[in-house]
Amino acid sequence: MANIEFSREQKTLLVAQIQKYFDQELDQEIGDFDAEFLLDFFSEKVGGYYYNQGLHDARALLDDKLDTITESFYELEKVTDFN
């Protein structure tokens, strides 16, 4: 798996959200550098778990949709002497 990377805009937004969390929930101020470092740490150490879960969820959704499509084909079948 490739490293999880965010655009500059995404990273700026995520850093601001981390800072807001620290301020509101922990009553601590955290600077841009520290918040970005924390984001990078979690992206590297925990991001793979979220990424894999996303893949698992997407695969389950696709399997469900393919089952529905397959069922639709059977519903379209005509009765013949070969059935």
DSSP string, 9-78: HHHHHHHHHHHHHHHHHH-----HHHHHHHHHHHHHHTHHHHHHHHHHHHHHHHHHHHHHHHHHHHHHPP
Query: Would you place residue 25 in the very low, low, confident or very high pLDDT band (cuts 50, 70, 90)?
Result: very high
Q: What does the pLDDT read at residue 81?
A: 87
* Mean predicted lDDT score pLDDT of the chain: 93
Whether the per-residue pLDDT at 75 is higher than 80: the answer is yes
